[in-house]
Amino acid sequence: MGGDHGPSVVIPAVAQALAKLPADVRFLLHGDETVVGQEIARCKGLAERVEVRHAARVIAMDEKPAQALRRGKGSSMWNAVEAVRDGQATAALSAGNTGGLMAISKLLLRMSADLERPALVASLPTPRGFTTFLDVGANVDCDAERLIEFAIMGDAFHRCAHGTPHPSIGLLNVGSEEMKGHEEVREAHRLLREGGFELNYKGFVEGDDLTGGAVEVVVTDGFTGNVALKAMEGAARFMRNELKGALTADLTGKLGALLAGGSLRRFRDRLNPPPAAPLLGLNGMVLKCHGGAGVTDYEYALRVAVDLARSDFAGEIKRNMRRRPASMVEPGEEPAEGEV
């Protein structure tokens, strides 16, 4: 029911995805059965391949997380996450309210291992593939331990999403020298260097490495990550508009743009950020699809969700977490309960 377009986008996307996915992939659709049913009726043969679970209410796009928790029970979003908790679904995908989805997911699924809070991960295009970038907004204040958890989660995510056995990891900073940056980032750097996490840690990276592809996973706090992600999205939007303006300013520009149309479309497609962002660190898989997603985006998001659901992603994170303790414990300190 979520996102800017609701079932009119989600249902056709499910139909398109099913046509391409293996026969054993099944979908549970949570929402108003009348509205959802009408959309399903428009897609030939879809009714036989999906199961509709009626939900009488929805989480509105502008509800606060606390409201979503208080009044969310029985909503389509709540039920979708609950189905993951109860083992009826392997992953939940929503284009709805991000804060509500995080709060409901944390409540129903709880955090995995010793992790404190979910991290939101973004994928950025680079000349060679994708950069896994986290946290992009779930955690504003991050100490060194939180940054190391992001490295552990990012490593597991990138391995599962892109098949790289040992993805290279960088810590976002304002320079590459040891003494650069604030205390948290320098402490995380020290621990990652010395810590024996079995991570392929490469050291500090800078803002332009995010789309430059210097490393495969870039770790930062949720404040810097959110600002950097939105700054890049804004810059890309500005460039697209300027390009459009430049190419329609005069006749030869227009003619050229017409001829180069296919190339320019491929250019635009290449820059579209992948439409699904997983919430990392939960006991269960929840993905956020961006609210403005159209049918093609949502179909792509569904296939990302299926790929991740088939991977041993949660297991990877848990195994990574088990490597953490010995080196996270300060010399002379007692290891915290459950960490060894």
Interface residues with a second copy (CB under 8 A) are 125-127, 137, 140-141, 172, 174, 180-182, 206-212, 220, 222-224, 226-239, 241-243, 245-247, 249-250, 252-253, 255-264, 266-267, 270-271
- Distance between CA 166 and CA 238 in Å, rounded? 35
DSSP string, 246-286: HHTSSHHHHHHHHHTHHHHHHHHHHHSPPSEEEEETBSSEE
Based on CB atoms, which residue is closest to a second copy, 6 or 225? 225
Q: How far is the CB of 25 from a second copy (least distance, A)?
A: 32
Q: How far is the CB of 238 from a second copy (least distance, A)?
A: 4
The number of C-alpha atoms within 13 Å of 164 and in the hemisphere containing its C-beta is: 20
- Distance between CA 276 and CA 285 in Å, rounded? 12
Based on CB atoms, which residue is closest to a second copy, 166 or 190? 190
Based on CB atoms, which residue is closest to a second copy, 216 or 299? 216
**For residue 226, how many other CB atoms are within 10 A of its CB?**
19
Burial of 319 (0-12, 13-18, 19+ CB in 10 A): middle
Based on CB atoms, which residue is closest to a second copy, 62 or 333? 62
Give just the sign of the alpha carbon dihedral 248, 249, 251, 253. negative
Q: How far is the CB of 75 from a second copy (least distance, A)?
A: 22
Q: How far is the CB of 127 from a second copy (least distance, A)?
A: 7
Based on CB atoms, which residue is closest to a second copy, 200 or 224? 224
Residue from 284, 287, 274, 275 nearest 94 by CA: 287
Coil, strand or helix at 86: coil
- Distance between CA 290 and CA 188 in Å, rounded? 31
Q: How far is the CB of 275 from a second copy (least distance, A)?
A: 17
- Distance between CA 336 and CA 315 in Å, rounded? 22
Q: How far is the CB of 277 from a second copy (least distance, A)?
A: 15
Q: How far is the CB of 86 from a second copy (least distance, A)?
A: 33
H helix and E strand count, the chain = 13, 10
Based on CB atoms, which residue is closest to a second copy, 125 or 294? 125
Based on CB atoms, which residue is closest to a second copy, 206 or 339? 206
Q: How far is CA 170 from the centre of its chain?
A: 18
Based on CB atoms, which residue is closest to a second copy, 90 or 176? 176
Q: Which amino acid is at 231?
A: A
Q: How far is the CB of 145 from a second copy (least distance, A)?
A: 17
Between CA 232 and CA 96, with CA 137 as vertex, the angle to 5 degrees is: 95
